[in-house]
Amino acid sequence: MQLDLRRSSDPGPLYDLLAKRYAEQGLNVPIPGPGYLKDLAEAFPDNIRMYSLYHGDQLISANIVSQYKHRLTGWMGNVRLGATDKPGDIAGNDIMLWTLIKKAKEEGCTEFEIQGAGERRLWQYKSKYNPRLEVSYAITRKDRLGQAAEWAYVNVRKRRWAAPVTAGGE
């Protein structure tokens, strides 16, 4: 099986994969538009890069990464459509991340971060890359309306994600 990781300047495939996968999962998450992603990549060509993983002409996975100093961060992407986990399925996300980790190391990066560590449903999936734990903090300020909106969001989200997480975390 020949897989090919290509640097891309077109955010369309990444955007399409994200939109389709979020729809499959019933998630209503805002996704930065292709124009915005393209503008970012053009404004910061040394720091923002888009990659696509292909099997022949078939798009398997896509990701946008940011690099600053010696840290590469997988910012957005790593989605697969119709995740079935059947024997013979291409583990595109795993291959994409592992290839990016190796690429980052070759370029002198000493850290690789998979964005979204706070997403509980993805912890098991992300843990297989031998991470070390790091403390992170978030500071927020909100009025009573903001507190009520957060409470409603958290409680709806908890009910929605009460279903067991499948292996692979996607």
CB 59 within 8 A of CB 17: yes
Indicate the domain borders of the chain.
3-160
Q: Which helix (H) or strand (E) holds 129?
A: none
Instruction: Give the pLDDT confidence score for residue 89 in this predicted structure.
Output: 67
Q: Do β-strands 48-55 and 3-8 pair in parallel, antiparallel, or remain unpaired?
A: antiparallel
pLDDT at 169: 41
Question: pLDDT tens, position by position, for the chain (170 residues)?
Answer: 688 889 998 998 888 888 888 888 887 778 888 999 999 999 999 899 999 888 888 888 889 999 999 999 988 887 665 555 554 566 778 888 888 989 899 989 998 888 766 677 777 777 777 667 777 777 888 999 989 888 888 787 655 544 444 444 44
Q: Look at domain 3-160 and name its CATH class.
A: alpha beta
Report the distance separating Cα 150 and Cα 158, nearest Å. Answer: 12
What pLDDT score does 56 carry? 84
pLDDT value at residue 124: 73
| Cβ atoms of 76 and 21 closer than 8 Å | no
The pLDDT assigned to 162 comes to: 45
Tokens describing residue 47: 């720091």
